[in-house]
Amino acid sequence: MDSPQTRKTGLNLPSGMSETSLRLETFSGSFRGISGLSSPSKSSTCSDRFIPCRSSSRLHTFGLIDKASPLKEGGNEAYSRLLKSELFGADFGSFSPAGGNQVGSSPMSSPSKNMLRFKTDHSGPSSPFSPSILGHDSGFSSEASTPPKPPRKVPKTPHKVLDAPSLQDDFYLNLVDWSSQNILAVGLGTCVYLWSATNSKVTKLCDLGPNDGVCSVQWTREGSYIAIGTNLGQVQVWDGTQCKRVRTMGGHQTRTGVLAWNSRILASGSRDRNIFQHDLRVSNDFISKLVGHKSEVCGLKWSHDDRELASGGNDNQLLVWNQHSQQPILKLTEHTAAVKAITWSPHQSGLLASGGGTADRCIRFWNTTNGHQLNSVDTGSQVCNLVWSKNVNELVSTHGYSQNQIMVWKYPSMAKVATLTGHNMRVLYLAMSPDGQTIVTGAGDETLRFWNVFPSMKTPAPVKDVGLWSLGRTQIR
């Protein structure tokens, strides 16, 4: 039978201690604490703290009973349960890790009706080691269990090799181009040959004769006409389907090593340091002259919207021109070697990439809107060519001294997708197939090598028109 003292206070006092031995200390009206003032026996020991029963505190409401993260606690479930049991009592340790109550537990097994919640209930278990998760996967969340996307496999060997006798080993020339009609043009010595990728038929387009030579070739975007830059400084335009010369334009004092078409204008760069712009609709040899380089112009590329022309030279300069000025709008001088490799991003307006020669070896990326350099990557070799894939946001670069390799890069991370080798001389020439999947490379080893490096373009879903399609099928029948 409980004593009157116990019934009155509801406290279990140590033996020998009475309720009158406790009092509250107050100073200036503020509550200070509970202390033991006297003891009936000097040998007895009293505690000044009261530890309540943890089982009625509903600590699970605050998320304190979730299992520890395996990254923080090592994932030792038995140790974690034992530790909680020692700290909070056996009732706390027997609580279900999944957030449900076990039958027969103490007050924790009663439904909680707290109005204020510090933990949001989730439809699924919150612990990565809860039984329902372990029953379905390896014990990680769905995000963590998603495997990283494996790198795309690029064949390490070319699927086709063509002999190209007399293909010159000259860094400043541009002797290979692939038309939108799937015809490859190659300048070999004094001649230009056309190779059909459809049926492998070879056609000799022209022979410039013993006193001249081919320095550059460039198809129009439609793929019907081809421009040829010659060693004497001429620019000739030929009908590729009829093998007939349409126009010859002069103006350059020496070899024309690089050409670039936009939708209607042909730009030509020469060793005489000048860039001419030609318009076949007018009778003049050229309609404008761009002066800015101090050495041979060896790189030319129009932006995809035809608004800007990027030019690179042996003076280590990368210049950007627009249609409304005879002076460059940007002078980019960070390269420390000749700039031949130039490509515009087809995925982002105003994004330009350029590559430097042997003393530079870097691929640099530029924002032509403000002229800022966005990134620079040292490739370890002379950069001879750059082409941006139209199917995926990746680039391919070809190199000379000293690795003679072909490299595929992801943008903007510039992670290497593939490194291809096969040429035993500088890979000076590069062109891409119309479908964007295959590249052809040429070198002074007098071979052309075809590589499958890019995936196919994702075709948009066709527009469904059931009525017209059904009608068409009915009429055909």
The closest of 374, 349, 348 to 363, measured between CA atoms, is: 374
Selected residue with higher pLDDT from 96 and 210: 210
Triad 110, 115, 117: Cα angle to 5°: 90
Host H or E run for residue 142: helix 142-145
Question: How much is the pLDDT for 16?
Answer: 55
Per-residue confidence at 92, pLDDT binned at 50, 70, 90? Answer: low
Tokens 């975007």 found at: 221
What value does the mean pLDDT take over residues 27-41? 42
What is the pLDDT at residue 77?
74
Q: Is pLDDT above 70 for 3?
A: no
Here the tokens at position 199 are: 């049926």
- Where is 332: in which H helix or E strand? strand 330-332
The arithmetic mean of pLDDT across residues 295-320, rounded, is: 97
Cα dihedral angle (323, 329, 333, 339), rounded to 10 degrees? -10
Q: Which pLDDT tens digit goes with each residue over 238-258?
A: 999 999 999 999 999 999 999
Amino acid in the structure at residue 250: G
User: Which one, of 276, 320, 317, 271, lies nearest residue 296 by Cα?
Assistant: 271
Confidence label for 45 from pLDDT (cuts 50, 70 and 90) = low
pLDDT at 168 over 90: yes
DSSP summary character for residue 250:
-
Assigned CATH for 160-452: 2.130.10.10
Chain centroid to CA 362: how far?
Answer: 18
What's the pLDDT at 90?
63
To the nearest 10°, the Cα dihedral for 189, 195, 201, 203? -40
Asked if 125 contacts 149 with a C-beta cutoff of 8 angstroms, the reply is no
- Which residue did the predictor score with more confidence, 466 or 219? 219
Q: How far apart are CA 447 and CA 160, in angstroms?
A: 10
Instruction: Find how far residue 313's CA is from the centre of its chain.
Output: 29
DSSP letter for 401, please. Answer: T
Q: pLDDT value at position 128?
A: 40
The answer to whether the CB of 329 falls within 8 A of the CB of 315 is no
User: What does each C-alpha distance from 19 to 7, 11, 53 come to in angstroms?
Assistant: 12, 9, 21
According to the model, what pLDDT value does residue 83 have?
Answer: 77
- pTM of the model as a whole: 0.67
Element (H, E) at 9: helix 4-9
Distance CA 152, CA 107 (A): 58
Summarised one tens digit per residue, pLDDT across range 193-233 is 999 999 999 999 999 999 999 999 999 999 999 999 999 99
Q: Is the pLDDT of residue 372 over 70?
A: yes
Q: Is the pLDDT of residue 46 over 70?
A: no
The average confidence (pLDDT) of the chain is: 79
For residue range 8-23, list pLDDT tens digits in order: 445 555 555 555 544 4
Higher pLDDT, 349 or 475: 349
Cβ atoms of 278 and 266 within 8 Å: the answer is: yes
Read off the tokens for 207.
């022979």
CB under 8 A, 24+ apart: contacts of 320-326? 320/352, 320/368, 321/275, 321/290, 321/292, 326/288, 326/289, 326/290, 326/291
Q: Which of 108-112, 207-211, 260-264 has the lowest mean pLDDT?
A: 108-112
Q: Cβ contacts of residue 312 below 8 Å, gap of 6+? A: 297, 298, 299, 300, 318, 319, 335, 338, 339, 340, 341, 342, 354
Segment 114-147, tens digit of pLDDT: 433 444 434 444 444 434 333 444 444 444 456 7
pLDDT at 441 over 90: yes
Percent of the chain with pLDDT over 70: 67
The whole-number pLDDT of residue 6 equals 44
Identify the residue with better confidence: 83 or 190: 190
User: For residue range 374-395, what is the model confidence (pLDDT) as tens digits?
Assistant: 999 999 999 999 999 999 999 9
Q: What is the DSSP string of 304-323?
A: TTSSEEEEEETTS-EEEEET
* Structure confidence by residue, pLDDT tens digits, 175-197: 999 999 999 999 999 999 999 99
Choose among 451, 437, 428: nearest CA to 382.
428
More confident site: 461 or 188: 188
| Per-residue pLDDT band at 86 (split at 50, 70, 90) | confident
The b/e string for 35-63 (b: 16+ C-beta within 10 A; e otherwise) is eeeeeeeeeeeeeeeeeeebbeeebbeee
* pLDDT interval class at 79 (50, 70, 90): confident
- pLDDT for 39 beyond 70: no
pLDDT band for position 78 (50/70/90)? confident
Q: How many CA atoms lie within 13 A of 356 on its CB side?
A: 23
CA distances from 26 to 214, 272, 468 (A): 105, 100, 93
Q: Is the per-residue pLDDT at 364 higher than 50?
A: yes
User: Which is nearest to 212 in space by CA: 188, 196, 197, 230?
Assistant: 230
- Please name the residues in contact with 475: beta carbons below 8 A apart, sequence gap of 6 or more: none
Rounded Cα distance, 325 and 311, in Å: 15
pLDDT band at 5; cut points 50, 70, 90? very low
pLDDT confidence bin for 87, thresholds 50/70/90: confident
